[in-house]
Amino acid sequence: MWLATLILCTALGADAPSYTIEQIVFEHDGRISETILRSELGLNAPATLSESDLRNGQHRIRRLPFVLDADLSLKKGSKRGLYVLLITVEEAPRGTWLILSTPLQLTADDVFEGGDTTLSPPIPIPLYSWRWPIGRKALLQYTTPGFLNYGRFGIAERGVFSAGLSFPGNATPSTIPESGRATIPEIDFDAWRLDTSFDWRIRGDHWMAVSAAQMQGTASKLLIAGADDQEFDAQIKQARYQLTWRRNTLDHSIFTTSGSLLSMAIAREDEVRERFGQLEADNQSKLARFNSRIFRPLGSQSYIQMGGELQARWNRFDSQSTDLNGEPLGNYRQDHIHLDMGWGRQWLQQRIWGFTGDIRLGLTGSVRRSLSEQEDLYPDPNFTRSSLGLALTARSPKLLMQFSLIYTSTPTELYP
Amino acid sequence: MTLLLMMGMNWGSVLVNQGSERVFLLRIPEYVLSDSRVQKSIHSGLTCTLMFDLRANDAFRKTGLVTVRFEPWDEIFLVEIVVDGQKHNPQTVTSNKDLIAWLTQVGFRIHTGDQVIQSISVNLKLVPFSEKEQEDAQRWFTKDLNNDRGSLSTVADYVLASSIGRKSACQFSWEVDLAP
């Protein structure tokens, strides 16, 4: 329905007016350099600009990491017919509290519990992200859930350069909640990882992005992407093609997005995940006390993803399992189809005691099919697991809370 | 997005004597037009659009929109109305007070045909000057999400991005009782 109305909008907008802008004025609280804002706006005065030009400029301002919102308005200029473009910028808050929760797991027929129905309580995971501008062009961000530190540095200059570094923190005791089968005293993330990216606005709405990652040890990757934003029917479309180099191989993928309605990614990655695989194996070795298996990714992963209100994703993982001494036990393939649908749109956005945000109800479901060459891997090595759940998300610029309830009908899998 | 549900409030009336057809006259409530976010958008000098969607049952759905643009130099409001695909004559209003008065009084003629409708759900949405940037900003933050599946930093980025939302359009809903 809204699409039909948007078409009407477009019809009305056919004779959309243009404005002669003699001056551009920014109104903000001063933590962001005006040079950055002007550079990202991509508009100069004096000039005659259409509403579309102004909309695209606003769009570019809003993509800055320091900016929460930007509103435009026109004021009278020095002469009749001339306008001053006033851009009111709301800068992002310096800190954000996040409270996530592991899913509340309802299990119908747990083979390890002799058919009892089990219920695992959710574990809240508090995160705090702290952002602090450095000078007027740079931003430092720090996030920690306790067992891992994640820092990110960004600087804007004809684009945005950012670098992120994650490094180990204090180990956090945690348990696997499902039926209390095992307790994991600690999970260490024992490698640092450095991510860098540079989004460069070449001209207008044409973008170039380069990013690279290096993990302690050998793993590294380089990604080059081109992006092009086009406006259509009052929505922003973005097309992106990217190439990724990861040591011995080349990945390629195409992304297209259309506002919030649809995005799609088709990609295939073939890689030798030496260090990444080793890290996962290292972490899994700490879980091995109850399953005596280590899974090492063999290195191919394919996925199709659709985004927007409906998110669908298909992943295929191939891995090889070994015992604790590294002796191969067999190969293992897992197909994972995941659906996630946002529902109810934003239910609430009201300023209540300073809270501005929305509450959203989502439907989530997944089907996971595993094939194993090992007959002793699980009671049933080849199984299909399906689950369906509801997710409730409340968010505001300063707080995000996420809770979900998942019902698993065939939980014949060790990892919840 | 603000969702105000004004159940059972009668914001419209029915004109019966239009030949053999029933015509429903929809009026925009004053509280919608007086809302600070609507006022801010109307006074921006750029085109502001109010879209409405009427539903009574599966067989009855009508759409329409009102566009308002404030001209700072003449201090007038240029108003255009499209109802059910038909564009009405543009209007010029000279003050905000007159704009609210006119829009709350003029009403939009909605032809219901020969259907007997007891009540209609009205959903009215303010389309801001630019509506979809929130998602795009989030995509900017999560642009590496597709390339770094599984790392905690990506999860943190995603969570951060989804927690950063700009104020979006506001939306109003109410029920119109058409029972005689």
Domain ranges, ordered by start, for chain B? 3-131+169-177
Least confident of A183-187, B69-73, B159-163: A183-187
Q: In chain A, what residues touch B43 (CB-CB under 8 Å)?
A: 73
Q: A6, A12, A222, A396: which to substitute to probe chain B, counting the most B Cβ within 10 Å?
A: A12
Using CA atoms, how far apart are residues B168 and B126, in angstroms rounded to an integer? 9
From A358's Cα to the closest Cα of chain B, the distance in A is 7
Q: Which residues of B touch A164 (CB under 8 A)?
A: 153, 157
Alpha helices, DSSP H only, in B5-164?
Answer: 30-34, 36-42, 96-106, 133-141, 152-163
Kindly tell me if the per-residue pLDDT of B155 is higher than 90: no
CA distance A399 to chain B (A): 7
Q: What is the mean pLDDT of residues B56-65?
A: 78
Q: What is the 3-state secondary structure (H, E, C) of A96-150?
A: EEEEEECCEEEECCCHHHCCCCEEECCCEEEEEEEEEEECCCEEEEEEECCCEEE
Flag residues of chain A having pLDDT under 50: 1-14, 109-117, 169-190, 218, 229-240, 242, 246-308, 343-356, 377-379, 411-416
Is the Cβ pair B146, A76 closer than 8 Å?
Answer: no
First to last CA, chain B: 34
Query: Across chain B, what does the average pLDDT equal?
Result: 68
Q: Would the CB atoms of A12 and B87 count as touching at under 8 Å?
A: yes
C-alpha separations of A99 from A146, A271, A340, B160 in Å: 13, 34, 20, 11
Asked if residue B103 has pLDDT above 80, the reply is: yes
* CB-CB neighbours of A66 under 10 Å: 23
Q: Do A213 and B148 touch (CB under 8 A)?
A: yes
Q: Closest partner residue to B72 among A4, A83, A345, by Cβ?
A: A83
Count A/B contacts: CB-CB distance under 8 Å: 189
Q: Supply the DSSP symbol for A259.
A: T
pLDDT score, position A38: 84
The pLDDT value recorded for residue B156 is 43
Q: Where are the alpha helices (DSSP H) in A191-337?
A: 274-285, 288-291
**What is the full DSSP assignment across A301-314?**
EEEEEEETTEEEEE
pLDDT at B93: 92
What integer is the mean pLDDT of B122-142?
53
B166/A69 Cβ within 8 A? yes
Q: How many residues does chain A have?
A: 416
Whole-number Å distance between alpha carbons of A259 and A18: 24
Residue A394, token pair as written in the block: 């409340």
- Could A349 and B170 be called an inter-chain contact, meaning their C-beta atoms sit closer than 8 Å? yes
- Chain B, nearest residue to A57 by Cα: B130
Residue of A98, A223, A396 with shortest CB distance to B159? A98
Please tell me which of the candidates A8, A59, A348 has its beta carbon nearest to residue B136.
Answer: A59
The pLDDT value recorded for residue B2 is 30
| For B124, nearest residue in chain A (alpha carbons) | A2
**Distance (Å, rounded) from C-alpha A212 to C-alpha A217?**
15
What ipTM was estimated for this complex? 0.70
SS3 call for A76: strand
CB contact under 8 A, B45 and A267: no
Which residue bears the tokens 């929130």?
A: B134
Contact B45 A59 (CB under 8 A): no
Domain ranges in chain A are: 17-91, 95-129+180-188+230-408
Which among B63, B133, B162 is the nearest to A400, CB-wise? B162
Cβ distance B140 to A63 less than 8 Å, yes or no, reads yes
pLDDT at residue B95, as a whole number: 92
What are the chain A neighbours of B53 within 8 Å (beta carbons)?
Answer: 1-2, 5
DSSP-assigned states of every residue in A340-387 = EEEES-------BTTB--EEEEEEEEEEEEEEES-TTSSSSSSEEEEE
Out of A74, A345, A357, closest to residue B72 by CB: A74
Instruction: Please name the helix (run of DSSP H) or strand (run of DSSP E) that holds residue A27, with its range, or none.
Output: strand A18-27
Per-residue pLDDT tens digits for A119-163: 555 555 566 666 666 666 666 777 665 555 667 776 766 666 767
∠ CA A48-A51-A53 to the nearest 5 degrees? 65
User: From the centroid of its chain, how far is CA B57?
Assistant: 20
* Chain A CA closest to residue B69: A17
| Smallest Cα distance from A289 to chain B, Å | 23
Report the run of H or E that residue A257 belongs to, with start and end: strand A249-258
CATH code of the domain made up of A17-91: 3.10.20.310
pLDDT digits (tens, 9 = 90+) for A72-122: 899 999 999 899 999 998 876 655 555 555 555 555 544 344 444 455 555
pLDDT band at B60 (very low <50, low <70, confident <90, very high): confident
Composition of chain A by helix, strand, coil, percent to 5: 15, 55, 30
Residues of A with CB below 8 A from B61's CB? 1
Pairing of strands B3-6, B171-177: parallel
Q: At what angle do helices B133-141 and A51-62 cross, to 10 degrees?
A: 40
Query: Picking from A247-261, B7-21, B160-174, which range would have the lowest pLDDT averaged per residue?
Result: A247-261
